Structure 1
């Protein structure tokens, strides 16, 4: 079964040394059953075109000279690649073919397509022979036995069958690119640079896993790296943008190359045969890469206006001149951008329907995400004005803009354009999990926050997640319309699919913001870290997981230089974790933390005055949305127990959850059974609380539900969450209902502890705390 198709262009096979290099790549990257597609060696196709032109002009001397040039090049390759015993049959076969060409020319029977086909035939034959000398079982294959056209259209079903039958053995096949046959067996060509097209066609017919286009450049760049030193090589480019670049004449990927891969999962990579160990560029399906920015320059072009264009006519014209033609409509009129050398042919074909609007134009195109085009056009025009470059024609579309000028864009101007239009600050992909009350407020605040951070970072919200559904858009969701996008685009997902999508994100930085209360989701943190994601958590489960798991996550994040911020997991928007970190970083030592860390329990205890039974306050809090759906979750104290553990671990203490003594704010018997059974026995809760409140009052104190952590002089840790009697004049006793309070005693704050107090719950303050963590993250990444 074919796992991969590899294509090597003419520059990769330009000399005997390059053939050897390609053979080494094949040995390192291929297995039996894989296919190699080859172009003609070096400039062989150009030489054969010149040979054809001399034949047409009946210039016999030029024809003989060029034919000798072809022979010498091929014989030189044979002599340098093979020992004498192997040279003889290869040289003899070559001379027979050259003699046949000369004979057909004399008889005026020479045909262009069969003549041009020899370039690929010779490449395939030599490479297969070379691999066989290296004990790699290899067979060269003439693609005319695989690809058949009828009236210019590929016969896909027939071709698929031919590929599976011909390429079925356990060996490596070297297939000629560029050529095919018509239904009568005549040779046809697939256009200049058609070998790339041959490779992707072959991959689609064989259901291969991947196609690698090996060329003389190590990938797809933001602009020509030979002209701009800081051109960006992209690790991933989406197919739509690659297709557009090809239509605009970008030489790395060519027109039609991508079409066979449409609706397939076949991976396409562009790699350098000159630097085989360098990772190339992967061309991926739409939605698996963010859209990039490019500045691509033009060779000499003519701008043609056409009265009427029939369906498929642009493709036919491209086939006629063996070159891509870009077509666009402006103000209701059709225009073609045609390389100047081919304008005469196009005008003849469109006789009576075409006007040459501008000739001998140069210039460039900007390709970018749709929302970026308008500002980029303004910036580009400003640069051109500053550099005194005269623009003769412009055209803007959804994903690109054309600037046609009367002079070539030199390297200096291109570098300025690239710096202004492409080079951006750091990029951060934001993935948000949890779209409940806090998540919704956080998203509504996002637009303003992202705009504020934009000067330092290019933030893109790329994914929204709920427990079973997600929306994923690598180029970025519209924050102002996230609800509409969720309604129309949300799809079910598995954790494996989520991680696969995250692995495809080609951003400099990625962050997962967890606003869920899901223990299962927190268990994915190591997987997120493995995919180089920073973490921001409002979720408490990871911070209170088993210590070995927690420490392994910490180590993993540190080893990968990843950051984890979770200030809102304790105290909502209150800067508790910041304060503890600052105290320790400044050399102080925390010896005690005490306080009320639950807004719900704060409200319940501070609101109790004996006028109403405690259970009525619980039901009132439930009605106001202060509690969990089953308020016993709050009354259990487990939430505060987790928060105290998080604070303990902030101090570097190796505690487990069970190391913190827990006393619930209700009788143990009420924790069991249904909520309805609890309501039937609520008087037990009232008696439980009333009894303890009266005992506190007898001591001149009030009842509060607190957490306390103390480190004694010997370093032993005492930690408890439960009911406490506190002095009436203390900060904890006078706590505003619903507030959290943290009383921190340290070496420096011994007599007068540091107090942090404020709302410890609420969707607005929690969302604001998450934004604070996001801001902190971007500052650290700077």
Structure 2
């Protein structure tokens, strides 16, 4: 059983670990790290020595921490030998002071002395733990200097396992049922104390497990086991209950901090079970690592390794020259630089490989020295390095048995908008790695986890505009949550903005109390704030939903798309601005691979744009279009044929909420002109808004009134003149309709009298209807008909467009 520093942060935690050891039903050997934070304090002490700074305060700090833990144990354990514990701690601290003061005299800390200083924390933990355990049971204290023999390197050493076993059997022929040992260090061939590198105490435990022929090696830490991805980055991460030694080694090699490859190798060689357990949740089964793996999952985990530098050796001298690759990697071996990943061009022109960032400068210098002649004679180009990179890796024993894993991996990276710099895959297909820019690696991990583990498409929506349509859309999102869950879709409304305030919540806005929260918000809306929020929260599929008719917001769409937002809008101002801006929006959407969706620009909830685009994609061509595109005007024109005057019908529609607050905005026809222009542009016509022949329902003097109440007061004066048009149509058994027309490459919006044979004759009560004649649909037109007025259908259209931003992945 190995216990890390977080399990030994206080006297209470020491006592808890004692209980975990004592409750074992079989002989146990325990290995200990330094108490939490002590190793960092010792590293700081060495830095102060090398900087020739005063050491007193740092030594006092370390002493205070260790003496406090030792003193606090007195009250926790009956028969605790406090005198012996204090004496041992004092002796250890005296030795630490002598070592530090000796280094202070010579002005630096030699590596051998640094190893002695750094191992002080583990020695303290073991001595204190032995004293605690001896209150109930005999305890053997194992000294790693007697049997953990390593190679000649001072740091990050590798143990000579056969010799370790031999020396252990020589010195410990019989041990008690409980034995304890400090982790993190051993000795080299000269007998000098050396540390075992990162996760050295885990490695010590693995070595000891081999020496005692253990049944299992338990690594006790502060999490329940190994997860499919870093839980700090992805809250929905999944615990891996069973994995193979090979998977564990790959995972630890590519950045998982919970394990180190050196820990797994000795256990795998002896087939000793390794279990990752949580000291704070000891009843949890944790993660078990053996020769077996969970076969129902192809991809077991995603890991990422940051602070990586790619070095490129290239030039004409590479091709066909035997031994070039061997010289490159021999140079790295001689310099003791770990090569993480290798990629070579098929033309043999270049070799690229990744090294830890802190070793890159050394690597380049050594290569320049090795290939000095080749560089001088132009056989090699100057050695290149690319900084600030990271490696993201998929790991799983079963990946080779499932088709399409690599495809889904690279598709996920593409969806996260991450550029792949290099790719590597091992021959067993147990791991697939991609080198990416370090600043995008978190986004890459999040989206890869979503698409490879959760397999749950996700939308993160930001809504602008809290008017009638905006409020209805929020209500529909809330209402549809259960349906979305059944369809395995995750829809988060991450933000809401009005003209004054902005509410942002990475985990989703509270759909029950959003209005109060928005009112209380002190944040104003801006694209820069939203972009920063999306980047910080690692949101990978953000969607802007515009429920306004604001010109300024519409003119920002280009920036939204450029910042990788999908845009879903009911606002017609963008698509009916200049033709140049219209084309820029569509070009930017294609360039950024974002969706620009505006179905509600024409028919509210009716599928007008989608059907028209489908026909055009199939090679069809628009010949003629006629349509009633305003639900409010459809209702008004229906009512005037039921005996109401124009002003009475308009007042009724206004009272029902069918018109704008100022009905002049409906009766001036501009809204319909914008809608027909959108259709024309979708059909490929190069038209501007002023090219539409617009005839308003009312005279210009009325159409230009900007106050709704003033408009309604003056509208009755026009009733008599408008009644003449009604009477004239009805005398000829016709009805008036406000119609948008596209014919011969031109657009018009006007009042038109239609008879019973016309497809728009029966349209009333707020319906929209469109008659589309194309090459495929003639002489009978393609008819689309349905209600086009009201917040519900408009919100439903926006909801439908929003779902079209989902990134669906094919299952293999």
TM-score normalised over the length of structure 2: 0.49
The answer to whether 1:650 aligns with 2:686 is no
The residue number in structure 2 matching 1:558 is 590
- C-alpha deviation, 1:369, in angstroms: 7.5
Contact 1:514–1:537 (Cα < 8 Å) also in 2: yes
The residue number in structure 2 matching 1:584 is 616
Among 639, 650, 672, the residue aligned to 2:671: 639
The answer to whether 1:470 aligns with 2:498 is no
- C-alpha deviation, 1:148, in angstroms: 7.9
Q: Which runs of 5+ in 2 are unaligned?
A: 1-33, 35-40, 63-99, 115-178, 181-196, 206-216, 249-271, 303-394, 397-448
The residue number in structure 2 matching 1:567 is 599
Aligned length: 456
Contact 1:361–1:407 (Cα < 8 Å) also in 2: no
- Whole-Å separation in 1 of the counterparts to 2:498 and 2:701: 35
The residue number in structure 1 matching 2:460 is 429
Contact 1:364–1:402 (Cα < 8 Å) also in 2: no
Contact 2:277–2:286 (Cα < 8 Å) also in 1: yes
Structure-to-structure mapping, 1:3-152, within 5 angstroms: 116-117=46-47, 121=50, 142=51, 144=53, 152=61
The answer to whether 1:364 aligns with 2:225 is yes
| Deviation digits for residues 658-700 of structure 1 (CA, Å, limit 9, x no counterpart) | 1001111112122345444434433322123212112222333
For the aligned residue pairs, the C-alpha RMSD in angstroms reads: 4.7
Change (3 A) 1:390 1:150: closer
| Deviation digits for residues 173-219 of structure 1 (CA, Å, limit 9, x no counterpart) | xxxxxxxx99xx99999xxxx9xxxxxxxxxxxxxxxxxxxxxxxxx
- Whole-Å separation in 2 of the counterparts to 1:562 and 1:408: 42
| Deviation digits for residues 730-781 of structure 1 (CA, Å, limit 9, x no counterpart) | 3312113100000111122222111110011222222221222123332678
- Whole-Å separation in 2 of the counterparts to 1:438 and 1:730: 32
The residue number in structure 2 matching 1:755 is 783
Contact 1:364–1:409 (Cα < 8 Å) also in 2: no
- C-alpha deviation, 1:152, in angstroms: 4.6
The residue number in structure 1 matching 2:345 is none
The residue number in structure 1 matching 2:647 is 615
Q: Which runs of 5+ in 1 are unaligned?
A: 1-48, 50-110, 122-141, 154-180, 195-300, 303-322, 326-337, 343-357, 712-716
- Whole-Å separation in 1 of the counterparts to 2:684 and 2:55: 67
Contact 1:361–1:406 (Cα < 8 Å) also in 2: no
- C-alpha deviation, 1:570, in angstroms: 1.1
Contact 2:219–2:275 (Cα < 8 Å) also in 1: no
- Whole-Å separation in 1 of the counterparts to 2:551 and 2:273: 60
- C-alpha deviation, 1:656, in angstroms: 0.6
The residue number in structure 2 matching 1:522 is 554
Q: 2:643 aligns to what SS in structure 1?
A: coil
- C-alpha deviation, 1:527, in angstroms: 0.8
| Deviation digits for residues 611-667 of structure 1 (CA, Å, limit 9, x no counterpart) | 332211111111111111111111111110100011111101111111001111112
- Whole-Å separation in 2 of the counterparts to 1:675 and 1:498: 35
Contact 1:596–1:707 (Cα < 8 Å) also in 2: yes
Contact 1:441–1:763 (Cα < 8 Å) also in 2: yes
- Whole-Å separation in 1 of the counterparts to 2:42 and 2:607: 77
The answer to whether 1:766 aligns with 2:766 is no
The answer to whether 1:682 aligns with 2:715 is yes
The answer to whether 1:720 aligns with 2:720 is no
- Whole-Å separation in 1 of the counterparts to 2:219 and 2:580: 70
- C-alpha deviation, 1:707, in angstroms: 0.7
| Deviation digits for residues 18-43 of structure 1 (CA, Å, limit 9, x no counterpart) | xxxxxxxxxxxxxxxxxxxxxxxxxx
Contact 1:503–1:531 (Cα < 8 Å) also in 2: no
Contact 1:514–1:536 (Cα < 8 Å) also in 2: yes
The answer to whether 1:441 aligns with 2:469 is no
- C-alpha deviation, 1:541, in angstroms: 0.9
- Whole-Å separation in 1 of the counterparts to 2:232 and 2:476: 24
Contact 2:242–2:287 (Cα < 8 Å) also in 1: no
Change (3 A) 1:603 1:475: same
Contact 2:651–2:712 (Cα < 8 Å) also in 1: no
- Whole-Å separation in 2 of the counterparts to 1:619 and 1:744: 32
- C-alpha deviation, 1:115, in angstroms: 7.8
TM-score normalised over the length of structure 1: 0.50
- Whole-Å separation in 1 of the counterparts to 2:712 and 2:772: 38
Contact 2:458–2:806 (Cα < 8 Å) also in 1: no
Q: 1:544 aligns to what SS in structure 2?
A: coil
